[in-house]
Each structure stands twice: as C-alpha cells, then as structure tokens.
Amino acid sequence: MVSALRLHNTLGRRMTDLAPLEPGHVRMYTCGPTVYNVVHIGNLRTFLFEDVLRRHLLAKGFRVTQIMNLTDVDDKTIRGAKEEGLSLPEFTAKYVESFFRDIRRLNLEAAERYPKATEHVADMIALIETLQKRGHTYASDGSVWFRISTFPGYGKLSQIDLTQTRRGERVAEDEYEKEDVKDFALWKRGKPGEPVWPSPFGDGRPGWHIECSAMSMKYLGRHFDIHTGAVDNIFPHHDNEIAQSEAATGEPFVEIWLHAEHLVVDGEKMSKSKGNFFTLDDVLARRDDAAAVRYLFLSVPYRRKLNFTWDALSGAAAAVDRIRSAAARIEEVAASGVEKPGAFGAGERGSGFLGEFFAAMDDDLNTSEALGALFPFLRDVNTAIDEGSLDAAGARTALDAIRSADRVLGVLPSAPEALPAEIEGQIEARNAARGRRDWAEADRIRAALAARGILLEDGPSGTRWKKA
Ligand code: AMP
Ligand code: ZN
C-alpha cells in the first residue's frame, strides 16, 4: 500500500490527501512565464517546486499530465515588442527559447505541453461567450468584463474581504472602464498599433486570467486535480480563474491549489520591477554549477520564503559535491566485482533511508527533511567502505537507493549508459597491453578512445571511463 501524499491546499488552508479524480492519473496545471524577458531565479524557484512535485508523483507511480502555459500576449509583451520594433511572435520567441534553455539547465523535466496564449484565442473567445450566455459578463467600451457579483463564491481562494472594496464605483484602470474595482477584463478592446484578434465582441485581445481557464480546461478537462503557482498568483489571478471556470461549467474547477512562497533578496521579493533580480546566467557566471542552484532551492520547503545569498549557494555546492563524491566512491565499489558479504546491511539501511526520504516528500513535499535523511545514509555507506564491509552487491543496492532519491532530487549526473561492447573490448585490450608492459599500445588505445570522446581514468579498482 503506497502511502498518501499530503499537500497543503490553499483552498480552505488545510492539509489534503491527494486522491486523483481519475485513479492513478494526476492532472495538473502550472502557471507559466510571461515571455517578455528572461526569467529570474525567483520564477525558477516556483518552476522547480512544480518539477519536484511532478517527479515525486511519478516516483509514486502516478501517471502525470502537466500543462504549463506560456503567456505570449499581454501589456508587457506588447510594449516590449513595440520598443524593439519587432512583431509580437518575433519578440516573444527569444524569451520562449531562453525559458526552455533555463529549465533544461536546471534539470527540470518537460511538462506534457506548453500551450501558448496566442494559439488558443478561439478557445478563450468560446469560453467568454459561454460566460456571456450565462449572464456573468457586461460590455463596456469595447471590452468585456466579468461581473464578480454574479459569482457568490468569489474570492474563496484568497479569502479576501470583499466588503473592503468599493462596490459600484466606476474606476478607470488600464484605460478601461469597469463597474466594480474587482471586476476583471475577459476581453480587452484593441488599441491603435497593438496586435488584435477579431471576435464577436470586436477586435481586441484576451485578458490574462481567461487564458489559464481556457487552456487548463482544454487539456485537462473541466475539473482536475492540482493547480499551482507562487503566492502572488493567489489573488487576483487564481480567484479569477476559479470564478470564470466554475461560472462557465457549474462544476468545481480544481481540487488542490498549491502555492510556493517567494524567493527573496534582503527580505524583499525578487522581481523584475524592483530590479533586485538575478537570472540563471548571472548565477552560473559566478558559480557554474546548476545542480547547486537546484540543491539550494530544495533545501528550503516550498512554503517557506527562500532568501537567496551567495553564501547559501556555496553551501549548496559543497553539499552537492559530497553527494557526487559519495556516489562515485560507491560506484567504484560496485564496479570492483568484489563479492564478499560484509557486515554492512545495505539493503536494510537503504530501504530505511528511502522510507524516511519518501515519508518527508509525502509530508507536503518537505524537501529539506528528505535531504536530511540522505546525508546520514551516505555517511554510513562511506564508513562501511572505509571499514571494508561493503561489497559490490551491497554497493549496487546503496546506489539504487541513492538513484531512487535522485529521481526526485535531480542533482546527480544521469547514470552512464552501457558502453558499446566494442569499446569495452578496447578497454580490455588496453589492460592486456599494460599487463605485458606494452605502454605504446596502451597509449595508442587510450588516444583512440579519447578521439571518440571516451576518457579513461585508472584507479585502484580498475579503469573507469567517462564521456568527454
Ligand atoms: P510571471 O512570468 O511574472 O508570470 O511569473 C512566473 C511565475 O513565477 C509565477 O508563478 C509567479 O508567481 C512566480 N514568481 C514571480 N516572482 C517570484 C519570486 N520572487 N519567487 C518565486 N516565484 C515568483
Ligand atoms: Zn495562470
């Protein structure tokens, strides 16, 4: 019996056991980047939390369908394109590319789909028409608004106190007229010189919130399991998504809402507008170790603020080095072929470690506690190697345990592929040459392999290879 994954549901502010609506299959939507600029490491912290959630769900044996949108039309993208004299798609393509490059470098697993807003305008128009038919909208000045007073549960996610807002007062915001401060735009009238799409409401473009409702329901169905973002998405974005989606379908929209706390610098949220941000390039220019960044993010559970400092990054890099060198040392024993069952019970110790590790992950993705279980395990295995009580079979068992944990952590290099038999033969031939002290032949084989990108390292337990 697999234990349940408990998650802190922002809706209702309580711990909830995950029970997928479709047994065995978790459908989740993660709000993606607005592609008007290179993402900063604050954004990446949120994306990494979503990656860890995904990896843990897969490790638990669930099938996962994850959708992450790309917001490629809004005020910021339109302004940026205009400033650079580019078309909107030309402008956003650069940042879509840099986003994918960043998430690959951070070893984030790909979601099943990354739908773009501009490719789903028809779906958004259809959803707005449904809301219109059901009496939740009004038109004003060529724009279409969602009237929040028609949705009684409005604000249930953020638990906002609506009596504090000035009902009925007409306010101008973003040069659009609306009846209530909290009413929000579903469709925005086009302005001269801006990209527009034809629609039954006139030429214009979709609002930001409708994008996520339309694309999540298109790919995941009207009612799905998990929706994530950072805490700044709770209000108004996610409350608006709930209002639009539930008003349109008459059904519950999402079972579990998860929100990551912010990455902060000197106590302040890292953000583009404040100028206090680092990109992944900035960070890697100072310390070229993406796994250390990953580790740093994992070291603080997602619901706690993460204060970014260079010292913390150094600490994370040292921790990753400890994991890597322990794994390499264990690999050496595994490859040694020495089979002499020693005193160290790798099987028992390994499953004990994995039990603790995954129990921490099941406890609302407590990555810091999960990492806390890893180091005592590595220490024990290291001690066993020092004492000569770990044989090759035990080392393989220990490695399996480490790799199972790393399936979620993602900080170790991927396992080496099996060498083609032909290259293995070359290594054997070189060993034979060395055995008969034919150094010229041994060197020739080493150089020939190097030319093919295979590097050999001779150690006490034989020859190891790696790709250049
Ligand atoms: P944006 O591109 O601004 O829509 O942001 C993409 C994602 O990053 C959203 O889920 C934001 O809530 C999240 N985000 C923005 N700033 C931070 C931050 N400092 N720390 C963590 N997440 C953030
Ligand atoms: Zn969204």
Q: How far is the CA of 147 from the centre of ligand 1 (A)?
A: 27
> Model confidence at 177, in pLDDT bands (50, 70, 90)?
low
Interval 325-364: pLDDT, tens:
999 999 999 998 888 877 789 899 999 999 999 999 999 9
Quick check: 173 pLDDT over 70? no
Q: Specify the ligand 1 atom closest to the Cα of 229.
A: 10
The pLDDT value recorded for residue 156 is 96
Among all ligands shown, which has an atom nearest to the Cα of 45? 1
> Model confidence at 444, in pLDDT bands (50, 70, 90)?
confident
Quick check: 2 pLDDT over 80? no
Cβ-contact 49, 302 below 8 angstroms: yes
Q: How far is the CA of 186 from the centre of ligand 2 (A)?
A: 14
Q: Specify the ligand 1 atom closest to the Cα of 231.
A: 12
Quick check: 159 pLDDT over 70? yes
Q: How far is the CA of 426 from the centre of ligand 2 (A)?
A: 54
**Atom 13 (ligand 1) nearest CA:** 43
Give yes or no for residue 229 CB within 6 A of ligand 1: yes
Ligand 1 pocket test, pick from 28, 29, 43 with the greatest ligand atom count within 8 Å of Cβ, gives 43
Among all ligands shown, which has an atom nearest to the Cα of 33? 1
| Cα 163 to Cα 155, 166, 182, distances in angstroms | 11, 8, 11
For residues 195 and 198, what is the distance between their CA atoms, to the nearest angstrom? 10
The pLDDT value recorded for residue 83 is 96
For residues 157 and 175, what is the distance between their CA atoms, to the nearest angstrom? 28
Residues with CB under 5 A from ligand 2 (ion): 31, 212
Among all ligands shown, which has an atom nearest to the Cα of 244? 2
Structure tokens at 410: 């993602």
C-beta neighbour count of 315 within 10 angstroms: 15
Cβ neighbours of residue 343 closer than 8 Å, sequence gap 6 or more: 384, 387, 389
Give yes or no for residue 70 CB within 6 A of ligand 1: no
Quick check: 452 pLDDT over 90? no
Of 55-64, 358-367, 449-458, the poorest mean pLDDT is in: 449-458
% of the chain with per-residue pLDDT over 70: 94
The pLDDT value recorded for residue 440 is 84
Residue that wins the pLDDT comparison between 445 and 94: 94
Using CB atoms within 10 A of its CB, is residue 221 exposed (0-12), middle (13-18) or buried (19+)? middle
- Range from 139-143, 167-171, 219-223, 387-391 that averages highest in pLDDT: 219-223
Give yes or no for residue 356 CB within 6 A of ligand 1: no
Q: Specify the ligand 1 atom closest to the Cα of 30.
A: 10
**Atom 14 (ligand 1) nearest CA:** 43
Interval 16-33: pLDDT, tens:
999 999 999 999 999 999
Quick check: 281 pLDDT over 70? yes
**Atom 11 (ligand 1) nearest CA:** 230
From the list 152, 118, 150, 149, the residue with the least C-alpha distance to 133 is 150
Q: Specify the ligand 1 atom closest to the Cα of 32.
A: 6
Give yes or no for residue 280 CB within 6 A of ligand 1: no
Interval 85-111: pLDDT, tens:
999 999 999 999 999 999 999 999 999
> Model confidence at 169, in pLDDT bands (50, 70, 90)?
very low
Half-sphere exposure of 170 (CA within 13 A, CB side): 6
- The two beta strands, 6-9 and 14-17, are antiparallel
Single pTM value for the model: 0.87
The pLDDT value recorded for residue 415 is 54
Quick check: 422 pLDDT over 90? no
Interval 189-219: pLDDT, tens:
999 989 999 999 999 999 999 999 999 999 9
For residues 9 and 60, what is the distance between their CA atoms, to the nearest angstrom? 19
Radius of gyration of the chain (CA): 27
From the list 179, 187, 190, 71, the residue with the least C-alpha distance to 129 is 187
Give yes or no for residue 262 CB within 6 A of ligand 1: yes
The pLDDT value recorded for residue 429 is 83
Interval 8-17: pLDDT, tens:
999 999 999 9
Q: Map tokens 């219109």 to a residue.
A: 132
The pLDDT value recorded for residue 139 is 95
> Model confidence at 445, in pLDDT bands (50, 70, 90)?
confident
Cβ-contact 297, 259 below 8 angstroms: no
